[in-house]
Structures are given as structure tokens and as C-alpha cells.
Structure 1
């Protein structure tokens, strides 16, 4: 059955696993609850997952072709037990080659990487969403220029995979300004989230794509994203969503930020 495409928040570092007993700190529990409900909300279990994280950038789109990726603990200063986490889902080299072919046919230059570990934008949310680690997974990098329109077009090129049972996931944060930690920025964050959500949920698909590609013109845009690497995975998910309906799937205030998730299809 056709899978949706998703843009989801991956939290902060290993946020859902900070407690030594494996329990989630209360501040992160609503986001964890959203992530843990993703699989039950799907039409059937995906045959594979294609995920784009805000923590991998390359000069060209690059697809992970490895069979058994390890984990890249690319967070710092957290409790020791968070560097012992496991998420042992297999890679999907055949899907990776198909991703490469689709992007190449769409005019993109595509690289390959078989050795990089899955960064925390992959294994932290998917450890919650897919705790059994039983769905083959492929990671695709962002393109370092962070061009919104190019990432939307990449998503459009990959949309056909949804009809093959592949769940396409953009993993980032709809608000990401580390300089504001410890401050009350809810007013600015709400302004941006309201404007972004209105653009993403525009019922006209062409208008939706144009408005989201122009995200930097939204109110408080550069306050919300001094650098937009955590927002650009949304562009891929939106492009892969095509002309399907879109739902504002989750909204929460956490660590002073306003954070949203979206589902296409």
C-alpha cells in the first residue's frame, strides 16, 4: 500500500533516552509519544524507510549504500549510557541504488557512501518509532547548498517509492536556534510556526511548494533558523508528498521552542 511521507522532529541529542533506566524525561514525552505512534498510523508496515537527516550534508546528494550501518554518536556532553545505545536495523542497498537512479534521472549528481554511521537524526527518532529495528533503512544526505527548491525537486523525484511501500522521512526540527536555549522565545517561535504551518498546509500544491521554498521570507524565519539545515528535510518530505493532502501531525512547545511535524498523504 502507498506510504505517506513525513517531516518529523528528532529532538535534541539523545533526548528520549537521557534517563539511565530508559525512561523519557517528561519534557520530551509528548514528542516521544508522537514518534512511537507513527507505525500504528500507517496503512501497513513499510517495506523500507528512506530518511533524510539535518545532520548529514555533502556537496552532492549522497546515498548510503551499506548493508549494516553502525551509529554515529554525533552529540556531545550527554550521559555515558547514551553512547551505548543500539539500533541495529539493516541497510537496503537495492533501495539505495534505486534512489540513486531516480535522482540521476531527475538531473542530480549523486554520490555513494557505504561506511558512514547513522547520525542521531536517524537513530534517535527511529529507535522510538521502530523499536524493533526490523525495517530496512537508507539514509540520503542533504545537499550542502541547502537550496530549498532543489530539495523539493529531489523529493518529487523520489515520490514513486511511496507506491512501493517505502516510507519517506525528513528528520529535522521546525525550529532550531541553539542560541536561544534557556530563553523564553515562545512569541517569536509561535509566529514562525504559524506561518510555516500555513504554508505547508496550503491546499493548492503548487502554492504550497512555492511558499515553503520561500520559507526565509516568513516572519521570524532567520530567528527560527540562523542556519536552515534542520528545516531542509521538510523540503524533501514535501516534494515527495506531491499533490497529496497534508496534515499538521504534531505541535508541541519544548525547551522554549515551538515544534511541528507534518504528514503528506
Structure 2
């Protein structure tokens, strides 16, 4: 009889889960992680976001998400000693074509948020790109029949809250990475865009394409927030969330715990049809990164590393 996957719900439990990850640099798991917001750095939100309840305590710099990310990053480096990181973020969408960063000796930062305290626009995260890896990823997508190309520092990819269009890693990358890896990171970081058609299967296929990188000592990370409703800020913290929000969080955990891989895929891809989905995700962009990580380890086992409300992290391929 299959048993349910353990669901860590506090720091001592998630540390046990992280410690139990297999030390397999020859085949690193792919990870979906909760990337948080700029409030992770300073614990303050724009005044326009009212009714935030206990958001600061939950997803701010001293809350469980920040504490988890620090433990998570340390464990990844210790377990896998990767040669590079490939990251997908909810905040970079392209339709029909994969863009892959080729930013050279230093990755710029795109501070793609508005109205936050001034100090959040001074955040630092220093890392470099990797031309060879970026071109390899483009080739992998082309071999899979998908359009793909690299993008350089000369090509803007979005609006920066400091008042200009620019290139760079978005806040779904550099904000959590600062906590996970420190402000100066010695490994190359390459970001790949998600598929803005938002379909589960299309984003699942994005993960399938980069699966081979896991066997080349490359860490594949995919970040989002599976409960992300800026129209209802009560949804972001467990003590202010409504029963409908909690029901969707439980549905995510239930789907992840389906023991058969193919049935689990069906359960995961059915989640956008859940009656509580729209109350938690007015749009799918923060949810579909889950499918990228799952696709990069299709038919393999998983481990839930953090099962806290709204901020789960999952290792696929353990």
C-alpha cells in the first residue's frame, strides 16, 4: 500500500526533509519554490495594498518563508554543488518563443515592482551569465521543435520600477536568491521565460526539455506562488485566508501526494479547474511554474520540502 508523502509544516520538519534529500550531483532534482515578493527584503508593502493582515509576519524578512529560503539555498549547495543554475520565474512570460538570458560577466537586475519603499530599489544580487549554457538551452528547445533564442543586456525585457525599460533577472529570481545564496553568488545563473499561454501541458513540456540538464550538474529551479491574489490580500497568510483559499492549498498537497506518476500528473494538471482556483489565482502565471519543475522530472518521485500554507516547495526527481 502506498503511503502519503510527508508534509513539513515547521522549521524542524523542513530541515529534516532538506537533510533527507539524496546527494545526487549526477542527477539533481528539479525544484518548484515559493519565490515571495520584495517584502522578503524589507517587510514593507506599498500603501496601495491594503488589508494585508499578517502578511509581513508570514512572508516578510523574519517570517517562515524567508527562514525556509535560507535553509533551502544552503541545502542545495551542500547536497549538489551545482556548476550553474537555470531558473524559471512567474514574472517572465513569452508567447510561442523561449527567451534565454545571455548577460555575460554580470547579470543585471530588473526591479519590476512599483510603489515599494526606496530601499527595495537598492537591493543587490551579483551573479554572472553563461553563454555556453544559454546556447545549449536554446538548442534543446529547438531540437524539441520550439522557437528559442538568447537575449542580451541590449534587449529590454520589461519595465523597471526605477523608471526605465531594461534587461535583467526579475524580482522572482533575485529577491529569493539573495536569501538562498547571499548577495554575491559565485555560480552562473541563466533565466528562461515561461509560456504565457498559461496551459499546464505547455509549461510541463518546458520542463521536459531541460530535464537533461539535471544530469549535467545543473540546478533547475522554477519559482512562483500558488496562491497569489492581489485583489484579496487576505489570501496570502494562513490566519487571514478564507476557507476557500485553504481548500485550494489542501488540493495542491493532495495532488502532489498521488502515488502513481501518471495519475499525479492528471491531478496536478486538473488544479486550474478546481472551484477555488480563481479565488487564489485571478491569473495563472504564479501557478504554472509548478508544471515546469514537474515536467523536468516526469515519472519520478517527489518530496514536499515545505508544506506551509501558500508557500510550498517541492523536489521533483528524488
Q: What residue is the counterpart of 2:214 in the other structure? A: 162
Q: What residue is the counterpart of 1:251 in the other structure? A: 307
1:44 aligned to which of 76, 80, 90:
80
Q: Secondary structure at the match of 2:33?
A: strand
Q: Secondary structure at the match of 2:127?
A: coil
Structure 1 residue runs of 4 or more that deviate by more than 6 Å after TM superposition: none
2:100–2:191 contact (8 Å) kept in structure 1: yes
Is 1:187 paired with 2:239? no
Q: Please list every run of 5 or more consecutive structure 1 residues that lacks an aligned counterpart in the other structure.
A: none
Q: Please list every run of 5 or more consecutive structure 2 residues that lacks an aligned counterpart in the other structure.
A: 1-24, 45-55, 154-166
| Distance (Å, rounded) in 1 between the aligned partners of 2:297 and 2:125 | 27
2:234–2:241 contact (8 Å) kept in structure 1: no
Is 1:93 paired with 2:131? yes
Q: Secondary structure at the match of 2:211?
A: helix
Q: How many residues align?
A: 256
Q: Secondary structure at the match of 2:284?
A: coil
Structure label with greater radius of gyration: 2
Is 1:17 paired with 2:54? no
1:7 aligned to which of 29, 32, 35:
32
What TM-score results when the alignment is normalised by the length of structure 2? 0.76
Q: What residue is the counterpart of 1:27 in the other structure? A: 58
- For the aligned residue pairs, the C-alpha RMSD in angstroms reads 1.7
1:122 aligned to which of 169, 173, 195:
173
| Distance (Å, rounded) in 2 between the aligned partners of 1:209 and 1:108 | 22
Q: Secondary structure at the match of 1:178?
A: coil
Deviation at 1:40, TM superposition (A): 3.3
Deviation at 1:26, TM superposition (A): 3.9
| Distance (Å, rounded) in 1 between the aligned partners of 2:258 and 2:75 | 23
What TM-score results when the alignment is normalised by the length of structure 1? 0.91
| Distance (Å, rounded) in 2 between the aligned partners of 1:5 and 1:70 | 25
| Distance (Å, rounded) in 1 between the aligned partners of 2:298 and 2:129 | 26
Q: What residue is the counterpart of 1:204 in the other structure? A: 260
| Distance (Å, rounded) in 2 between the aligned partners of 1:37 and 1:31 | 10
Out of 50-59 and 236-245, give the one that drifted further.
236-245
Out of 210-219 and 30-39, give the one that drifted further.
210-219
